[in-house]
Amino acid sequence: MKISLEQNITIMDPCACLVIACHEQGQRTANAQKIEESSGGFLSRFLASGDFTAEPGQCQLLYGVPGIGAERLLLVGVGSGEKLADGKLQKAARALGQTIAKAQLTNVSLALCDVSIAHRSMSEAMEIWLRGILDAQYRFDQHKKPAKHPRRSLEQIHVLPAPENSATNQQEMQDAIATALAISQANDWARDLANQPGNICTPSWLAEQAVNMAAQRGIESEVLGPVEMEELGMHLLLGVAQGSRQEPRLIVLHYRGGAADAAPIVLVGKGLTFDAGGISLKPADKMDEMKYDMCGGAAALAAIQAAADLALPLNITVIVPASENLPDGQATKPGDIHRSMAGLSVEIINTDAEGRLILADALTYAKRFHPDVVIDMATLTGACIIALGHQTAAVLGNHEGLVAELLHAGRSSQDRAWELPLFEDYQEQLKSPFADLSNVGGRPAGTITAACFLSRFTEDYRWAHLDIAGVAWQSGENKGATGRPVPLLVHFLRQRAKAV
C-alpha cells in the first residue's frame, strides 16, 4: 500500500476515483461546490432524486460525471453543514472503506480536507479517514482455496490537501499518513496472529512470529521456556500450562529508540493461545473463539512493531506470557495452590480465571527492567462485556496520571476506554483461608477484582490494566479479531514520544 500527499494535483485532474464529502441537499463542501459548477449542476440533480441523503455512513459511487477528469466520483455523506462529531466521522470513514473494498478499487484520490471536524485538526481527521479505508481492506483467507477470480486490492491512495494548507500543516499531514499506515499494518498483523487457529498459533509459534518481526526491525528478542520459568519461580504461569502438551513461552522484546538511560515503557500482553477453561471447562458454544484469548499479546507485539516503524524516540519492552489452558490428568485442579514469582501463594478456585495468573508472573518479571510505566492488556473478564459492551475497553490502575493518558489516547484514536474504580475495599473479595489470595473474587465486580488481583503484583511501579474482552474480537457471521487496542497504544506511545 502506498499513500502519498499530493501538492500539485487538483480535483479536476484525471484520476481513477475521486472521493469528496457531500452534505445534505442545499449545502456543499468547497470541493463539492467545484464539482457542482464544473458538472453543470449534476450534484444538485442527483441529490434531488432522493437516492442519496448524504447521511454519515452513506456512500455512493458514480460513473461518467460530466465536467471532471475522474473516471469515478465517490460521494461520502457527512450530514448537515455543522462540524462533524467524532462518532459520525468514524461512521463515515468506515462506510468509505467498505465501499472502496466492495468496489475493489485499486487507486483513489481523497479530497476530504474541506470537511469541518469538531475538535480535530485537518491532519487528525485525515488519519481517521485513512484508517477507516485501510481497516476495510483486511482479509484473512489464507486457509481457503484460492478464488477463481482473485479480489483486486487497494494499492494507491492520493491525499489531496486543502488549498490553504501551510507548510506546517503539510508536515502534520505527512505525520498523520505515516501514523495511519503504521497503525494499519500493526493492526493487520495483530489480527493475523489472533485469527490463526489454535493448532497453528501455539505458544512456540507465537514466539517465532515475534522473533521474526523483531529481527526485521532491529528489536532485541529473548524467549524463555519452562526451564527458565522454573528457575525464576513462575509457578502461576507453569501451573496454567501444565494441562497442555504445548510448552509455555515468555516472549520478551526490547525496542531501544530512546536515550540509553531512559526507563522503558513496558507493555505486557496476555498470550493464551487457546483457553478451554482447564478443569473448569468452558461451554462448547463459541469455544472456538477462545483462540482470541491471546489478543492482548498480539496487540502488545503489534504496538512495538508500530513504534519501530515510526522510529519513536522511546525505550519500549514487551512481555507476552504465552500458554494454553487445557484439561488433562496433569492440569491444575480447583483448590490447588501455586506460588507466584513474587512469592505470594494463590488458591486456584476457578481454573478458567487463568489470564490473571500468567499475567501476575509476567508483571513481576517486568520489575527487573526498572520501568517508567507498565501497561498490561488482556481479554480478561466476561464481566467487562456486561459492564461496557463491545464498544469500550476498561482501564484501571494505580496511577491517576497514567490512566488519564490512556483515556486521552483512547479518545484521540477513537479506540476508547473507560475507567473503572480500583478501591481497596474490593481486595476483600480475594481473601483465601488457605493462601495469600484467591484467583477469583466471586461474580460481583468481576472486572475490578481481576484488576485487584493484578495490582498485588504491581505495587513497585506505576501500572495500568486494559481489559479488552469486549473489544478485541467480534462474533457472528463476520467474526474475527479487531486489532484493538493497537490504535490506543500507538497514540499513547506517540504522545509519550512528543514529550521527550
pLDDT of residue 8: 86
Question: How far, in Å, CA of 404 to CA of 412, rounded?
Answer: 12
| Cis bond upstream, residue 485 (ω within 30) | yes
37 in Cβ contact with 52 (< 8 Å):
no
- Which residues, at least 6 apart from 330, have a Cβ–Cβ distance to it below 8 Å? 242, 243
Residue in the structure block whose three cell numbers are 453543514:
81
The answer to whether residue 181 sits within a structural domain is no
Cα 32 from Cα 478, distance rounded (Å): 34
119 is a domain residue:
yes
* Separation between Cα atoms, residue 337 and residue 345, nearest integer Å: 7
Measured CA distances, 372 to 253, 268, 317 (Å): 16, 14, 11
Q: What is the pLDDT of residue 7?
A: 85
Task: Determine the pLDDT at residue 164.
Answer: 62
384 within some domain = yes
Grid look-up 504461569 returns 237
Q: How many CA atoms lie within 13 A of 274 on its CB side?
A: 21
* Residue 175 located in a structural domain: no
CA distances from 213 to 88, 135, 303 (A): 35, 21, 12
Whether residues 115 and 42 share a domain: the answer is yes
| DSSP state string for 321-379 | EEEEE--STTS--TT-EEE-TTS-EEE-S-TT--HHHHHHHHHHHHGGG--SEEEEEE-
> Which residues of the chain carry a pLDDT beneath 50?
none
Indicate whether 101 and 241 sit together in one domain: no
Which residue type occupies 443?
R
Note whether residue 476 is domain-resident: yes
**Looking at 291, 356, 416, 456, which residue is catalytic?**
356
Q: What is the DSSP string of 99-140?
A: HHHHHT-SEEEEE-TTS-BTT--HHHHHHHHHHHHHHHT---
The set of cell numbers assigned to 253 is: 522484546
Statement to judge: residues 388 and 489 lie in one domain: yes
- 45 burial class (0-12, 13-18, 19+ CB within 10 angstroms)? exposed
Q: Domain check: are 20 and 142 in the same one?
A: yes
Residues 82 and 164 in one domain: yes
Within this chain, do residues 199 and 162 fall inside the same structural domain, yes or no?
no
Query: Is position 469 within any domain?
Result: yes
In terms of domains, do 10 and 115 share one?
yes
pLDDT, residue 160, reads 94
- Total count of domains within the chain: 2
Q: How far is CA 450 from the centre of its chain?
A: 21
Tell me if 173 is assigned to some domain. no
Which of 107, 139, 168 is the endpoint of a domain? 168
- 99, 309, 327, 333, 337 from 281: Cα distances, Å: 42, 41, 7, 11, 19
Are 373 and 265 in contact, with CB atoms under 8 Å apart? yes
Query: Is 282 designated active site?
Result: yes
Query: Is residue 356 annotated as a catalytic residue, yes or no?
Result: yes
**Are 265 and 380 part of one and the same domain?**
yes
Could you tell me the CATH number of the domain that includes residue 47?
3.40.220.10
Active-site residue among 83, 217, 256, 282? 282
Q: Say whether both 164 and 214 belong to one domain.
A: no
What CATH number is associated with residue 233?
3.40.630.10
What pLDDT is recorded for position 362? 98
Handedness of CA 281, 286, 290, 293 (dihedral sign): negative
> Which of 101, 135, 168 is the endpoint of a domain?
168
- Picking from 140, 168, 196, the residue at the C-terminal end of a domain is 168
Same domain, 231 and 373: yes
Q: Which helix (H) or strand (E) holds 226?
A: helix 226-232
- Are residues 328 and 460 both part of a single domain? yes
Q: What is the pLDDT of residue 165?
A: 52
Q: Would residue 178 count as lying in a domain?
A: no
Give the domain range for residue 62: 2-168
Do 309 and 338 lie in one domain? The reply is yes
